[in-house]
Amino acid sequence: MELLIREFTLDGISSILNLLYDLDRPRPLDDDEAEIFKNKISDYFLDSQKNIIVAQQDTKILGVVSIIYLQRLNHDKIEMYIPELIVAEKLRCLGIGKKLIQYCMKLAKKKNCYRIRLESGNSRKDSHKFYKSMGFEQSARFFSRHV
């Protein structure tokens, strides 16, 4: 079967949530919180400065990339920021992530972005190798603080 890379439609919310859980993202504690998670994806979908791209085979979503377009103070072009790039755990290293990144690169050129930026947890060594193989460079350190 052929892999289709396409823009997300709202009928795939459950699949997106399951991929997030595959990456150890928090699961909802109850039905109310599950509804909040679904609404966040719907809101993301409706925001013109954001995009969700999926990798689909037949009717099953196998991978997802979320995108935020950011205007920086020191650039006249926008930046494509990728908060999530997730491929189903059992399907990694099969070229799905590569096709998602290639789609993002085409989209970034079309939108006249000056760069694509993403983050990856320190422990995700295989992901780091993958990003480097796709031409990404480690160019900064990321700091965070819970409030």
* Amino acid identity for residue 52 in this structure: I
Query: Greater confidence, 1 or 20?
Result: 20
Angstrom distance (rounded) from CA 78 to CA 69: 6
Q: What are phi and psi of 114, to 5 degrees?
A: -90, -20
Query: Greater confidence, 103 or 93?
Result: 103
Residue 88 lies in a domain: yes
Segment among 22-26, 83-87, 115-119 with least mean pLDDT: 22-26
Can you give the pLDDT at residue 1?
60
Segment among 44-48, 98-102, 120-124 with least mean pLDDT: 120-124
Query: Greater confidence, 121 or 93?
Result: 93
Query: Greater confidence, 123 or 103?
Result: 103
Residue 25 lies in a domain: yes
Residue 35 lies in a domain: yes
53 closest CA partner among 70, 39, 67? 67
Query: Greater confidence, 141 or 52?
Result: 52
CATH number at residue 86: 3.40.630.30
Residue 142 lies in a domain: no
Most confident of 21-25, 28-32, 81-85, 90-94: 81-85
Provide the number of structural domains found in the chain: 1
Can you give the pLDDT at residue 109?
97
Residue 110 lies in a domain: yes
Angstrom distance (rounded) from CA 118 to CA 141: 11
Q: Please count the helices (runs of H) and the strands (runs of E) in the chain.
A: 4, 5
Output the six-digit token pair for 6: 């396409």
Residue 139 lies in a domain: no
pLDDT mean across residues, the chain: 88
| Interval 31-90: pLDDT, tens | 888 888 888 888 888 899 999 999 999 989 999 999 999 999 999 999 999 999 999 888
Residue 39 lies in a domain: yes
Residue 140 lies in a domain: no
Q: Which domain holds residue 33?
A: 3-133
